[in-house]
A and B are shown apart, each in its own frame.
Chain A
Amino acid sequence: MFETVMKLSLLILALSTLFYFYRLVKGPTVPDRVVALDAIGINLIGLTGVTSVLLKTNAFLDVILLLGILAFIGTVAFSKFLEKGEIIENDRNQ
């Protein structure tokens, strides 16, 4: 029973990722895609969590934390890139 529920939620998460992916492909603007990517990252966290429950292991908890950090950093980087046109401002060039 428990396993069926878990598999079902895994399927739902996967389908949700697919739909986010549709947004990612379709656009139409770049911020749309960035938000989709961010959401895919969060979906990945969910997928990883459910999978580790299914596999009965805690080896993937690091991955969840890392995904959280990276999704944040990635989104910030993209946003900054869209805002300023660069990610790391190089003072020496000024």
Chain B
Amino acid sequence: MSLLHLAILLPFIMALFVPFLYKWFKSVHTGWFVLLLPVFLFIYFFRYINPVSSGSNTYSTVNWIPSLGIQFTAYVDGLGLLFALLITGIGALVILYSIYYLPRAKEQLHTFYVYLLLFMGAMLGIVLSDNMIVLYTFWELTSLSSFLLIGYWHTREKSRYGALKSMMITVFGGLCMLGGIILLYLVTNTFSIREMVTQAPIIMEHPYFLPAMLLFLLGAFTKSAQFPFYIWLPDAMEAPTPVSAYLHSATMVKAGIYLTARFTPVFGLAPEWFWLVTGIGIITLAWGSFHAIKQTDLKAILAFSTVSQLGLIMSLLGAGSASLHFESLDNKMFSAAVVAAIFHLINHATFKGSLFMAAGIVDHETGTRDIRKLGGLMSFMPITFTITVIGAFSMAGLPPFNGFLSKEMFFTSMLKLLEFNLFNVETWGILFPVLAWIASVFTFIYSMIIVFKTFTGKYQPEKLDKVPHEAPLGMLISPIILASLVVLFGIFPNVLSFSIIEPATASILPYLLEDGEQFHVHISHWHGWGPELYMTLGVIGLGILLYLGLAKWKLVYKLFPEKLTLNKAYDVSLRGLDKGSLKVQELYMTGFLRDYLGYIFTFVVLMTGWALFSKSAFTFETAGNAPIGIYEIVLAAVMILGAVTILFAKSRLTSIIALGSVGYGVALFFVFFRAPDLALTQLVIETISVSLFLLCFYYLPELQKREKLPFKLANFLVSLGVGTVVTLIALSANSQRVSETISSYFIENSYKEAGGKNMVNVILVDFRGFDTLFEITVLGIAALGIFAMVKLRLSKGEES
């Protein structure tokens, strides 16, 4: 157990104490105690920047289930550190924000912070685990805690719906990922990601490669809200705004990005990987940005914009995997895509966090997030306005903010894909920059909507519940810090380049570097008059035109009817699954015992009959059988007659008497076959059971129908089949004995060892007395049960 493990587990430990802090310190907002933890962790992880950027990664191992090869290996490299800093840093800001956002008097703060800490710990666990099973454990913990956080206001119908939906989709992906992990384990015999990377060439050749890759991608795509699994993210906006800012923009939705980046060295060489990651990413980007414009809720716009930005990062990661095809760094353009992905990941976390917080402030101070009701808030909330402008302009990709830089790098990477001449990219590759450019135009438009529909235009006081005013300072601190970071990274992007981005790139693309070599990371504002700059100018120009004419072309969205959306498909398929399974269940669970018996017997006949004939096990051997006497034949005829009488009897009493005769016949057979003890017992038991039948029949209604029981062909066939199969099995079992019986031992030893001449009784109480004990128990239980049933008669009201 190292300090690093403690750092990962600290949020869980803290979560244990939060309820007590909430109860004992009633005057202090619980968030203040919780705030200390991420701040402390942030400082702790900050100290790793120096060793990691100089190329030394830290890891330490604690055995968890060593017999299964599951160790909790904490591993800090560039990528893990970047995510750990994001999680703890934004975590601290979000908790600070939530202190002012959630009033202590009205909210169940202890549950909120317990869930949030669980989430933070789980997220740290994901990004710092080297063992895939541990990673999966933390992965599911994030799904679970996200479910709890989305459903935080659990009395609202929509919160529960959103929580359930996100749970279903992310857990579906998580389970797929577990399948991928197991497949990879079967190939490489290790759960460690680092060892897996070294075995990447072996994995490539293995038949499990493709299924494992697809399963991993399903996990990553569902978590990171890629097309078509993005549908849970807009519904997750029912969560409190700090949660939306933290989970659904900066951290959890990037877990899939993390997974994709982490497994790029393992899967990245495959053409399927390149096409899926880049293609799905670019589709998600375009789709998300297109649909963001029609939203009217601020948070919904932000949710769709998150979807689209995640698609952007994903497509960059896919483009970056192309660099694995080149031996050296000569063709450094594709590794630049990875640099762009990481840079945009950081940028997105900063500006989207600040935008969510600003939206939360608007909601908090006006009582609505609907942009149709908002407008003209600029003079009321100048600081929030400034924050929103910085965030939204950065999102739109305007200079001098950081979004501009990453968007330029994105265009560069997409354009460079045109030069990539593997996997048929030369034919369809033109779509990448085109889609990227169109999506950027839409991104520009919705960024403008966020700013100008909220803060400029006409002020509509009659539609607002509250009189708007600027938020308290505490609430503004976090978005101000994030907005400052947006500007800082925008103006001085190179503070990040070798401290964080370069080590992270190195961990996504290992083995491309010689010892001591570093990736070329240089982000500059001015990179000459290139095609990227013209593309950006085009985005701005067309974006402004389209924004001004928004009212005219917004009708386009009417072309997509509500019925054909993916949400509808999800709802319908879920309901269909519900109804379908109910129908299937009603089909065979009829509630009639006769039907169930029919199933059981049919399967007995089919399975044993099939086994008997497929193995050609049926033999019939008469040698060694005893001779059959005439009285045995007569007795058998009597018993057959009795059995047939039971079937065709018209009154119950006849059936009973016939049953009794069959029982006595059995007793007589015992006599013939020299079993006196059995004959005795059989006689007594038969008499008693016949009298018990009589006892029962007294309480039964008169047998009304005088006519015969209706003949049912299915029943006839089933009973005939059962009889035939059992007879055949008995005949063939008798015809082929495997070994001698052990009865000679009892014959020799029953007097010598046990001192009894009655062999049956000696076996019952000496050699195998254990069975007898439990037969006695069975009888005792039966007697007690009957007594209880007769005596204990609760009337309907007294039940339970």
List A residues at the B interface (Cβ < 8 Å): 7, 10-11, 14-15, 17-18, 21, 24-25, 27, 30, 33-34, 37, 40-41, 44, 47-48, 51-52, 55, 57, 59-60, 62-63, 66-67, 70, 73-74, 77-78, 81, 85-88
Assess the A24–B657 pair: CB atoms within 8 A. yes
Supposing A27-B654, A30-B653, A37-B660 touch, asked if A63 and B635 sit within 8 A by C-beta, the answer is no
List A contacts of B690 (CB < 8 A): 74
User: Is B793 part of the binding interface, using a Cβ–Cβ cutoff of 8 Å?
Assistant: no
Distance between A83 CB and nearest chain B CB, rounded to angstroms: 13
Contact with A along B401-431 (1 / 0, CB 8 A): 0000000000000000000000000000000
Partner of B638, one of A18, A27, A33: A18
Partner of A78, one of B630, B654, B676, B694: B694
Distance between B702 CB and nearest chain A CB, rounded to angstroms: 12
Contact with A along B665-700 (1 / 0, CB 8 A): 001100110101001100110010011001100100
Assess the B680–A63 pair: CB atoms within 8 A. yes
Partner of B671, one of A14, A41, A48, A85: A48
10 interchain residue pairs of minimum CB distance: A14-B634, A59-B676, A70-B687, A14-B631, A10-B631, A63-B679, A25-B645, A33-B657, A48-B671, A60-B676
Distance between B380 CB and nearest chain A CB, rounded to angstroms: 87
Assess the A21–B674 pair: CB atoms within 8 A. no
User: Is B642 part of the binding interface, using a Cβ–Cβ cutoff of 8 Å?
Assistant: yes
CB nearest neighbor in B for A80: B694
List B residues at the A interface (Cβ < 8 Å): 629-631, 634-635, 637-638, 641-642, 645, 651, 653-654, 657-658, 660-661, 664, 667-668, 671-672, 674, 676, 679-680, 683-684, 687, 690-691, 694-695, 698
CB nearest neighbor in B for A62: B680
List A contacts of B631 (CB < 8 A): 7, 10-11, 14, 47
Assess the B660–A87 pair: CB atoms within 8 A. no
List B contacts of A67 (CB < 8 A): 683
Assess the A47–B653 pair: CB atoms within 8 A. no
List A contacts of B653 (CB < 8 A): 30, 33
CA distance A88 to B280 in the complex (A): 82
CA distance A88 to B790 in the complex (A): 15
Partner of A11, one of B634, B667, B668: B634
CA distance A85 to B645 in the complex (A): 23
List A contacts of B691 (CB < 8 A): 74, 77, 87
Partner of A44, one of B629, B668, B676, B684: B668
Assess the A63–B676 pair: CB atoms within 8 A. yes
CB nearest neighbor in B for A15: B634
CA distance A55 to B638 in the complex (A): 22
List B contacts of A44 (CB < 8 A): 664, 667-668
List A contacts of B668 (CB < 8 A): 44, 47-48
Assess the A37–B676 pair: CB atoms within 8 A. no
CA distance A70 to B660 in the complex (A): 12
Residue picked from B637, B641, B664, most chain A C-beta under 10 Å: B664
A–B complex contacts, Cβ < 8 Å, 11 sampled = A7-B630, A10-B631, A14-B631, A18-B634, A18-B637, A25-B654, A44-B668, A47-B631, A57-B674, A67-B683, A74-B690
Partner of B694, one of A11, A41, A66, A77: A77
CA distance A25 to B684 in the complex (A): 23
Since A74-B691, A77-B694, A87-B695 are in contact, a sample of 4 more A-B pairs with Cβ atoms closer than 8 Å, ordered by chain A residue number, is: A18-B634, A18-B638, A21-B661, A88-B695
Assess the A40–B694 pair: CB atoms within 8 A. no
Supposing A11-B631, A14-B635, A74-B690 touch, asked if A47 and B657 sit within 8 A by C-beta, the answer is no
CA distance A41 to B660 in the complex (A): 10
List A contacts of B637 (CB < 8 A): 18
List A contacts of B651 (CB < 8 A): 30
CA distance A63 to B237 in the complex (A): 84
Assess the A66–B680 pair: CB atoms within 8 A. yes
List B contacts of A73 (CB < 8 A): 687
CB nearest neighbor in A for B649: A25
Distance between A90 CB and nearest chain B CB, rounded to angstroms: 10
Assess the A34–B671 pair: CB atoms within 8 A. no
Assess the B671–A40 pair: CB atoms within 8 A. no
List B contacts of A86 (CB < 8 A): 695, 698
Distance between A68 CB and nearest chain B CB, rounded to angstroms: 11
CB nearest neighbor in A for B629: A7
CA distance A81 to B490 in the complex (A): 102
CA distance A57 to B677 in the complex (A): 14
Partner of B674, one of A37, A55, A88: A55
List A contacts of B630 (CB < 8 A): 7, 11, 14
CB nearest neighbor in B for A67: B683
CA distance A12 to B14 in the complex (A): 93
CB nearest neighbor in A for B675: A59
CA distance A77 to B658 in the complex (A): 16
Distance between B757 CB and nearest chain A CB, rounded to angstroms: 11
Assess the B634–A40 pair: CB atoms within 8 A. no
Supposing A44-B664, A60-B671 touch, asked if A37 and B694 sit within 8 A by C-beta, the answer is no
Distance between B441 CB and nearest chain A CB, rounded to angstroms: 91
Partner of B641, one of A21, A30, A52, A62: A21
CB nearest neighbor in A for B638: A21
Assess the A51–B671 pair: CB atoms within 8 A. yes
CB nearest neighbor in A for B632: A14
Partner of A24, one of B629, B658, B679, B684: B658
List B contacts of A74 (CB < 8 A): 660, 687, 690-691
List B contacts of A77 (CB < 8 A): 691, 694
Distance between A12 CB and nearest chain B CB, rounded to angstroms: 10
Supposing A11-B631, A40-B664 touch, asked if A70 and B683 sit within 8 A by C-beta, the answer is yes
CB nearest neighbor in B for A88: B695
CA distance A74 to B657 in the complex (A): 11
CA distance A60 to B638 in the complex (A): 22
CA distance A10 to B690 in the complex (A): 27
CB nearest neighbor in B for A36: B657
Partner of B661, one of A24, A52, A70: A24
Partner of B698, one of A30, A48, A85: A85
CB nearest neighbor in B for A41: B664
CB nearest neighbor in A for B698: A86
List A contacts of B672 (CB < 8 A): 51
Assess the B684–A47 pair: CB atoms within 8 A. no
Residue picked from B642, B653, B661, most chain A C-beta under 10 Å: B661
CA distance A48 to B680 in the complex (A): 12
CA distance A14 to B679 in the complex (A): 18
Partner of B679, one of A10, A33, A57, A60: A60
Assess the B694–A25 pair: CB atoms within 8 A. no
Distance between B18 CB and nearest chain A CB, rounded to angstroms: 64
CB nearest neighbor in B for A65: B680
CB nearest neighbor in B for A17: B638
Distance between A67 CB and nearest chain B CB, rounded to angstroms: 6
CA distance A77 to B679 in the complex (A): 21
Distance between A31 CB and nearest chain B CB, rounded to angstroms: 11
Assess the B684–A70 pair: CB atoms within 8 A. yes
CA distance A44 to B694 in the complex (A): 22
Assess the A37–B641 pair: CB atoms within 8 A. no
CB nearest neighbor in A for B660: A37
Assess the A25–B687 pair: CB atoms within 8 A. no
CA distance A27 to B676 in the complex (A): 32
Distance between A54 CB and nearest chain B CB, rounded to angstroms: 10
Supposing A11-B634, A66-B684 touch, asked if A87 and B641 sit within 8 A by C-beta, the answer is no
Assess the B679–A37 pair: CB atoms within 8 A. no
List B contacts of A62 (CB < 8 A): 676, 680
Distance between A72 CB and nearest chain B CB, rounded to angstroms: 10
Distance between B394 CB and nearest chain A CB, rounded to angstroms: 90
CA distance A73 to B630 in the complex (A): 31
List A contacts of B657 (CB < 8 A): 24, 33-34, 37
Distance between B642 CB and nearest chain A CB, rounded to angstroms: 7
Supposing A34-B657, A37-B661, A78-B694 touch, asked if A21 and B642 sit within 8 A by C-beta, the answer is yes
Supposing A63-B680, A73-B687, A85-B698 touch, asked if A33 and B654 sit within 8 A by C-beta, the answer is yes
